[in-house]
Every structure is written in C-alpha cells, then in structure tokens.
C-alpha cells in the first residue's frame, strides 16, 4: 500500500491495460480500480510495437504509469539487441520502469540465446536510465539469476521479480541483489501451499502487490 497526507491506497505494480478486454473499456476498468482502493497502476508493455499505445494510456489516465520492454516470448520477432531505442523511449516521464523482460523456458517461443541477449539489453537500459527492471522468469530460474548477478557485478541496477512463484533459493538470491518480489493471484491457488510458506518468511517491505491483469485472477 502507498499514500501520503493521510491517504492510503493500493498500487497494482503489474498489469496490461493495453490488452483486449481492458483497453477498449479503460475508463470503466480504472473506475472499478478506484472504487476498490487502487490509487496507482503500472501497465507493462510486452511488445516493442505497443510502446506508443502504453504511453498513451498512461498519458490519458492520471493514475496510470507504464513500463516499456519486450517480453521474452517476443524476443525473436521484436528483439531488442540494442538498448538505445528503449533508453530514448524511457525519457517519457510517465515511464517508470523497464520491462517486462527475462527468460521463459516454459514455452520457448523465442530462441534462448535471443531471450538472453534481449534480457541483457533491458538490463543495460535499466542501468542507464536508473529505472527499475521488471523481470519475467519461468522455468529459467538458474539462468535468470546467473545473468542478473553477472550484470550486477558490471554496475548496479534495481528491479522486481514479476509474478514470483518460484523457489526459496530464487527469492533469497533476488533479495540479496536488492530486488523486490511481485506477489499476485497465484498465491491463492490451491496448489500454492509451498509458495505461501515461502512468502510468509519474506520481508514485507520487499513485496509488491500485482494483478497481472487480465491474467491470474485470485481464487475468491
């Protein structure tokens, strides 16, 4: 939660307002969020071709900010081997983070070497801009953390592990780098008993709430 001057509200630290089902009814979506006590939303780009749309959403809605990046699924078709375009686009004051970027070995929609190349380019952009990095990792924990640790040794940057649903080891390695962990609806799933035990032991000040909307709705 966040706030000031006696006003307290929730922050959704990761969603996709440009996705179908949300973009075409953005006014309704944001009105519902406000009624639920959500005062700030971070909408996250997943394709290079969506950066303008995501920035436009953030410009239109005063309680929306954005992150720009290329999801690892799109590393092959919309790769980002050069961080310069991202650094330039991130100069927009409504851009507050870089990503989401990282490694996804569950689907392997893009070659793994392309995913790693793009991941490092996003890290370079985060380092250059001083903006936090939003990290996607799925079935790629060891490689993800190895890259983050290698790159941290080359120069500092900050970030968050989006949609944390992994091991205690990954959590500890991420926290050691100064990262935060994004916690969402997966925590409520029936199969998430071990995840709940891990999260219960994590420092509260290093956890961020997220919906990943329109995905991963919590179990009522």
Kindly report the CATH number assigned to the domain that includes residue 58: 3.20.20.140
Cα–Cα distances in angstroms (integers) from residue 95 to residues 6, 167, 192, in the given order: 26, 30, 33
Task: Find the helix or strand (DSSP H, E) in which 168 lies.
Answer: helix 168-176
Per-residue pLDDT tens over the stretch 14-50: 999 999 999 999 999 999 999 999 999 999 999 999 9
Per-residue pLDDT tens over the stretch 106-145: 999 999 999 999 999 999 999 999 999 999 999 999 999 9
Residue 1 counted as domain residue: no
- CA dist 215 and 220 (Å) reads 15
Task: Find the helix or strand (DSSP H, E) in which 209 lies.
Answer: strand 207-209
Could you give the percent of the chain with pLDDT greater than 70?
97
* Per-residue model confidence (pLDDT) at position 4: 57
Label residue 5 by pLDDT band (50, 70, 90). low
Residue 176 counted as domain residue: yes
* Per-residue model confidence (pLDDT) at position 3: 65
Count of domains for the chain:
1
Residue 220 counted as domain residue: no
Across 73-78, average pLDDT: 93
Domain extent for 180: 10-209
Residue 140 counted as domain residue: yes
Residue 3 counted as domain residue: no
Residue 214 counted as domain residue: no
- CA dist 130 and 125 (Å) reads 8
């Amino acid at each position: 939660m966040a706030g000031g001057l006696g006003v307290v509200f929730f922050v959704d630290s990761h969603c996709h307002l440009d996705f179908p089902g949300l973009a075409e009814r953005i006014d309704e979506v944001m009105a519902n969020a406000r009624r639920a006590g959500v005062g700030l939303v971070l909408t996250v780009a997943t394709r290079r071709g969506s950066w303008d749309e995501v920035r436009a959403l953030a410009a239109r809605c005063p309680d929306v900010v954005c992150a720009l990046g290329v999801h690892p699924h799109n590393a092959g078709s919309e790769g980002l081997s050069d961080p310069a375009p991202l650094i330039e686009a991130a100069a927009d004051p409504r851009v507050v983070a870089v990503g989401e970027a990282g490694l996804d070995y569950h689907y392997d929609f893009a070659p793994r070497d392309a995913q790693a190349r793009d991941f490092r380019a996003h890290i370079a952009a985060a380092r250059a801009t001083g903006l936090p990095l939003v990290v996607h990792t799925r079935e790629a924990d060891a490689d993800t953390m190895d890259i983050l640790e290698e790159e941290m040794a080359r120069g500092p940057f900050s970030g968050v592990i989006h949609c944390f649903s992994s091991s205690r080891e990954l959590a500890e390695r991420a926290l050691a780098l100064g990262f935060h962990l994004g916690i969402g609806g997966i925590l409520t799933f029936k199969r998430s008993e071990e995840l709940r035990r891990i999260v219960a032991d994590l420092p509260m000040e290093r956890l961020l709430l997220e919906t990943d909307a329109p995905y991963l709705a919590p179990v009522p």
